[in-house]
Amino acid sequence: MIRAQKDSSNLTHRKPVFGLSITPDNVEKAFTLAKTADELELDIIGIQDHPYNGTFLDTWTLLSALAASTKKIRFFPDVSDLPMRSPAMLAKASASLDIITKGRIELGLGAGAFWDAIHAYGGPRRAPREAVAALEEALQVIRLIWNYNGPRRRVSFSGKYYQLDNAQAGPSPHHDIKIWLGAARPRMLDLIGRIGDGWVIPLNTYMSREEIKACQWLIDASAKKSGRPPDSISRIANIVGVIDEEGKLDKSSGNKAPFVGSSSDWTNWIVSSFKDSEIDTFVFWPSGDGQERDQVRLFANKVVPEVRASLADRE
């Protein structure tokens, strides 16, 4: 079990980032929510990637369509299922969409978790250590493909899980795409500290605040050991819950439950998470059945400005 230790870094000089999670199971709702989030000037949209789920649309296809229908908001797969997707093709897909959108794509990436479902769709089964090793190779492959510096530049890579054999690199992304890793285990957290650009924190229904703090310490320690500043690594949290202004629902009663409360309650929770748990990006996952658009408006119009004002007052 990971135990919390004294916080060793300070990320509060950053400005908080606010986003929306969209479940890829309803086309009309996905487009409505994406356009609403874009109009309300949220920063980013995350779309989960479970290609073996028969009720889900393909995440990368949906990302492309939603990006084309919006103007400013950024997108990322939350997170791409590596065992189901070749890293070379992930590099190609993400760079291509980043070029098309003029820099509105980041890459969330995960080592895989639901191995029976992955195997049922033709993917490999990997033990935890193998999954981490494969993910580390994938990051190297992706960056080799992206690092395109001339006509027909060729790259090779000889790994246990992935290989490139005199492959043509490119295209390079429009901007410096960040690779954010979804993780909860120590070996993955160590990998983030060594070579990752960000940590996508599991849902608040999965991980308590104390567990998050303990994971943050491991990432920071790994980063420092590798000669990297811990504050160069983003911390992206998926936050599940309901904004209940009328007090009709029972408030959250535990560390691992959907957060329920007024906009002021949400503001206090996010401000505390930003300052005490070193989280800098908050991806709202509204759990109100059929009320997602209203929830997004409450989040963008009330919670986000209240958080920004509160943090500005404390600077």
Closest CA to 16 of 295, 296, 293, 269: 269
Question: Quick check: 208 and 184 in contact, CB under 8 A?
Answer: no
pLDDT for residue 150:
64
pLDDT for residue 281:
98
Length of the chain: 315
CATH assignment, 17-314: 3.20.20.30
Instruction: Give the bridge partners for 281, in sequence order.
Output: 17, 236
Q: Where do the domains of the chain lie?
A: 17-314
Cβ-based neighbours of 177, under 8 Å, separated by 6 or more: 94, 95, 98, 105, 106, 107, 146
pLDDT for residue 287:
83
Q: Which residues of the chain have pLDDT under 50?
A: 1-12
Instruction: Give the bridge partners for 22, in sequence order.
Output: 47
pLDDT for residue 14:
78
- CB contact burial 69-84 (16+ within 10 A = b; e otherwise): ebeebbbbbbbbbbbb
Which pTM was predicted?
0.93
